[in-house]
Each structure stands twice: as structure tokens, then as C-alpha cells.
A and B are shown apart, each in its own frame.
Chain A
Amino acid sequence: MWGKEIVAKERFPKRYRHPELDVTLRKHRTRGEARALAKCMEAGIPVPALLHCDLNTMTLYMRHIRGHTAKHVISGCEEREDTEGVMGICREMGTLIGRLHKSGLVHGDLTTSNFVKPSPEHYYAHTETERERETEGEGETEGEGETEGDVAMDADTPSPTADTHPCPLHVIDLGLASVSSQAEERAVDMYVLERALIATHKDSESMMDACVCAYRQVMGDKITDEVLKRYEKVRGRGRKKGEKVPGQ
């Protein structure tokens, strides 16, 4: 589509669910994800650019990001015992979460599988062809008469941070995202991330610390402390929890 590699993300019906509940949920999530993606693109947060959303088939069409998930990258680093590499990714994740929260969104499903590091060669190949296109003249793409797509692609061109960081980490899978600026929702987001780190990675504690550190830089001390305070409460709500809070 429009000379780009795209991904179609279709939400299939789940036969085990009550049919009414199933339709409601799928519609709600497809719509929610589309809105969240649009909002991210507006804020310049690296996400796969949304090209089209079809609520009849519950399908989203997005730009394909070639690369590896943060989970993959981290386990690669772990194998090489490259702690600095792991921490670097975690800091990037923290920054990204901070920017997400700052633009009034919560992700709802933060795991290391939901961050994608584009591989440089593809990323550059992408942006280069894009630039070529732009210099060659935009008539080509406009010829197809899909303004929606063009807007989306523009938003996907490297944002300010991308200049300092050549290959920014992308956040994907915003199906459970919601619009909220409440400390509670943000804290739950962090809690979900922590749980995901514990379940999949060895050195989850220092990874979480790195995330929170980077998060603090984006969000500032006041909000971060508020979120962390809430976070402690969220943790205590679950059964049989310890008392440790990361980043303090």
C-alpha cells in the first residue's frame, strides 16, 4: 500500500467469549488502538504509523517496522553479558513510557515484547526511500488520492529525538491503551511493566530502576514521586507482596 510495507492487524473473534461481549470488546479495542496511535503520532512518539482503520473487519493497517522486540534485544545482551546494553534499552523504554504518559495516554500492556527496536539498515532504508520520494515530488503518492496515508507517513518520519538517537525504540500494541492522566492509571502501567520484567528477565530489579530513572527525567520529580507513591499502593493491593519500590 502506497509503496510501503504494511501490517494488517485483525482482531479475530474469540469463540470462547460470549458473542455480544466479543463484538463490544473487539470494537472497543480496535477503535482505542487507532485513537491511541493517532495521538502518539501527533505527539511525535515513535509508533508504527496508522494508515487505515476498518471497524467492520476490526482491522488496523499500520506501517511495518522491521526489527527486533526489546525482549529479543535484551536476551541477546544478557547472553553476551552486556549489562550496559540492557540498561540502555531500559532507559529508552522508561523515556518512551514517560513521553506516552506525558501526552495523556497509558499503555495498559507494557511488556518488553511491546517495544520494537528497528534494525538500522531497514530503518535507514525506509527513511531514505521516503526522503527520495519527498524530493522527487509528492505527486506520486498523492496520485493515489489517499491523503490519510500521506499524513500518517509524515508523522512517522523521524521525530526530534530520532536525530539524537538514530534508531528510536518504537512502542506497539496499544490495544489496551486508554486516555488518562491519573497517577493511579500510570502506576498500574508501571506495575504491569514490572511484573512483565520479573516474569521474563533475570535482572528485573535494576532494569526497573533504569526505567524509572529515565521516566523521572521526562516526567519530572513531582509527578514521578506521585506515581511511585501510588505504585506502592497498587503493589500492596495484590496479594502477598513485598515492600520494595524501584528507583528509590
Chain B
Amino acid sequence: MSFFSFFCTLFKSVTHVQVVNGALHLFGGYKHQRMHLVLTTNQEGVPVWTQEPDMPIKSCALAARALALLWGVPLVPVNHCVAHIEMGRLKTGISDPVVLYVSGGNTQVIAFARGSYRIFGETIDIAVGNCLDRFARVASISNDPAPGYNIELLAREARAQDKAANDACAAYEAARHSELMESPVPPEKKHGPVEGEGERETSPPAPAAPLITLPYVVKGMDISLAGIMSSAAAHLKANPDTPKERLCLALEETLFAMLAEVAERAAAHVGASDFLIVGGVGCNKRLQEMLGIMAAERHGRVGGMNNLFAVDNGAMIAWTGVLMYQSNKQCALDPREADITQRFRTDEVDVTWR
């Protein structure tokens, strides 16, 4: 495993065959003779800005082709999203989950049916991670370490404030209630201008601020997120004094409620009760909590993953490549004819290993 993951991580950043060779010797002590498969995947990009958006993955594909030819090993094409799912199944041990794939570039609800991973629902415009990132930029929320994470922290703050306010209100009500029950004076009179009793009267604590309303758009099992993003931005523009954490809270609650709802619908549709969250946004604790509550209601469980394996990683490509190749040797491509595409749908992959 680590063998492959090391190699695939390399692929993310290195494109020269010689460098790959050198690095193999240097860091892992691996010789290329021990290499069994060369794996290539879509969507994995080197974080380099180029004129041509396809350039990073094209260069990776080039390196993959070159290595496969050079070492005479099979070249296996791995679908990025399927790799996320397989890694999730491996790490959480949930065999047949409804998958919520939420990242900067994708928002899909996936379940296994009739030999492939079917997309039951997805965003009809922008991805959820994209929505969060763009909002962070508009609201000038820091990019360090990640915009989504900072939104999560702000939302958590707002949630804590709300909880404190609600608790204070509840405590006040309870105190008032017991006071009224014990008091021999009828309640109406207590409110009167009796100065003697005024000392125990305190003004009621402020209730929790209402949730900012953002458009909640669910169409069947598809969702639309672009409206939320622009509506949150417009709200901020119209009311610059709005605390950012209130908006972050509303954004998280609305977005994730939509995601949870479509996941629940998909689960009802296929009769599953377990859920798996993959992709970068899957690191969000609130999203995990929401799906957790829902799964518990359905007597299922939810597989959340730690940051290491929820985000893009080489190990998932490696693991899926192994699964694919072991179940079907025919899946290897001819390196001379192999090419790479960014338009590789999740449901186009023949799942031969399940």
C-alpha cells in the first residue's frame, strides 16, 4: 500500500521520469523493477497555474505513459471519484454506503447499483467547496490553513453563542417559572410597580439571533448552490455590519441540510442506511454530525474520515488501481494510445471488483 501511495503522490508533483526514478531510489529505496502498475487518474492537478487548464494532468499522463512503456508495466486508468469511494470503503469498512462526495470541484450523491456507481443527485451548478471558498473570498475570510476550515470555525463560534443564549433563556424561564410557582403573590401583581421585589427582577437575556435566510433549493435529488453563494454575498454587501460568523452559520446550516436531505432521499431510494462522506468538505465536523444524526435515525452509521484520507490523496488512486487490475486484467490501457480526460463520469466506470 504505502509503496503505491508513495509513487502516486509523486505523480502529483513530479513529471519527469528521471526525477521519479531518482526519488524512488532516494526516499523509498524502491527500484523500478519492483513496480507492478502505473496508475493514472483524472482531475489530479499539480498546483501550478498554466495557460492551459488541462496542462497539469496532461503532463502527469505523459509521465505515466512514459513510465509504463519504460518499465513495461500495465497502465491502469483510475477514476478520481471512484478512488475516493474505494478509499472510504476500505478505511471505514462500510461495504455498501450511500456516498456523499463533497469537494471543491464535486458535489454528488452516489450509490452502487447494477454494476457501477450511479450518481443519484448532484449540484446543477457549482460545487459545495467552491461555494464555501468563494464566500470566504467575498467575506475576506483567511485562506490559512483553508477557507472552508475557517468558515467552520466561525460557524462553530456562532453555534456556541446561540447555545449560550438559548441556555440563558431556558435558565431564565425556568427560574421565573419556579419563582412564580412558589410565589404566593399572583403573577399579574408581580409585574406591578412594587419596588421591594424589583431587586430580584432581571431583564430577560437576549434570545439567540435568528438564522439568516438563504435560498434552499432542492430539485428532486439535485441541488443548486449558486444562489446561496450570491445571496450570502449580497447579504453581506447590503448589511456590512453582519457578523461574519452569523453568515457562516447560515451558510453551513443551509448547505449541509440540503446535502443531508438529498443523501437521505437517495438512501430511501436504494434502501441503504449507511453513509460515507468523502472529499475535502467531508472534513467538516458539522456535516459529519448532521449525517450522523440522520444515519442513527435510519439505524445505520456514517463513515467520516480523517483529513488525511478524505482529501485527495495518492493512496486512494493506488488502492483502486489494484482493485481494478486484480479483478480485470483487461482494464490496462495501451500506453501508446492512452490519453487523459477531465470529463470522466463516475458512472462510466465498470465496477468489476464488487
Contacts and interface: CB of A to CB of B under 8 A. Distances in A.
Are A and B interaction partners?
A: yes
Given A16-B291, A240-B344, A108 B253 contact: no
Residues of A in contact with B, size category: 20 to 34
A156 to B, nearest CB: 26
Interface stretch (A95-103, A164-172, A187-195): A187-195
Given A199-B118, A200-B269, A237-B124, A18 B220 contact: no
Nearest to A193: B220
A191 B124 contact: yes
Contacts of A219: none
A234 B270 CA distance: 25
A111 B120 CA distance: 11
B260 interface: yes
Contact of B124 (A20, A188, A240): A188
B15 interface: no
Given A15-B293, A20-B210, A239 B122 contact: yes
Interface in A214-248: 234, 237-240
A191 B122 CA distance: 12
B222 interface: yes
A125 interface: no
A196 interface: yes
* Dominant SS among interface residues on chain B: mixed
B260 A16 contact: yes
Nearest to A189: B219
B211 A21 contact: yes
B218 A176 contact: yes
B211 A199 contact: no
B219 A108 contact: yes
B269 A240 contact: no
A176 B219 contact: yes
A24 B290 CA distance: 18
Contacts, number: 88
B315 to A, nearest CB: 24
B257 A17 contact: yes
Interface string B293-326: 1100100000000000000000000000000000
B123 interface: yes
Interface in A44-77: none
Contacts of A176: 218-220
A17 B260 contact: yes
B216 A21 contact: yes
Given A15-B293, A16-B260, A200-B269, A25 B343 contact: no
A108 B260 CA distance: 18
A237 B253 contact: no
A209 interface: no
A208 interface: no
Contacts of A237: 124-125
Interface string B85-106: 0000000000000000000011
A239 B344 CA distance: 10
Contacts of A200: 113, 269
B80 to A, nearest CB: 11
A238 B120 contact: no
B120 A199 contact: yes
B221 interface: yes
25 contacts: A16-B290, A16-B294, A17-B253, A17-B257, A21-B216, A21-B254, A25-B216, A109-B220, A110-B220, A176-B218, A188-B219, A188-B222, A191-B124, A195-B121, A195-B220, A195-B221, A196-B220, A196-B221, A199-B120, A200-B113, A238-B123, A238-B124, A239-B127, A240-B344, A240-B345
Interface of A: 14-18, 20-21, 24-25, 108-111, 113, 176, 188-189, 191-193, 195-196, 198-200, 202, 234, 237-240
